[in-house]
Amino acid sequence: MALEVKTGSRLEAGAPKPLFDARLVAGAGFDISPDGRRFLLANSLENTDRTPITVVVNWTGELKR
């Protein structure tokens, strides 16, 4: 969220509004770069095709054949 802040004899804060659209994954977090200029977010993508992952166990044993 972001809001406009006016300083002067007293501090005035505007209405909060979303800084950007982020669909965060439940339980996943975010990080901010050390300089404060970038965000890293884990977000969910809608309607994506899932490519299966193949895990090969003991692949070095296959090299001996």
Q: Which residues form the domain of 35?
A: 21-46
Does 49 or 63 have the greater pLDDT score? Answer: 63
What are the residues facing 40 on neighbouring strands? 31
Confidence of residue 24 (pLDDT cuts 50, 70, 90): low
Let me know if residue 36 belongs to a domain.
yes
Let me know if residue 59 belongs to a domain.
no
Let me know if residue 64 belongs to a domain.
no
User: Which tokens hold the place of 24?
Assistant: 């965060």
pLDDT at 43: 65
Please give the tally of structural domains in the chain. 1
Let me know if residue 29 belongs to a domain.
yes
Let me know if residue 33 belongs to a domain.
yes
Confidence of residue 11 (pLDDT cuts 50, 70, 90): very high
Let me know if residue 13 belongs to a domain.
no
Let me know if residue 32 belongs to a domain.
yes
User: Hey, how many other C-beta atoms are within 10 angstroms of the C-beta on 42?
Assistant: 14
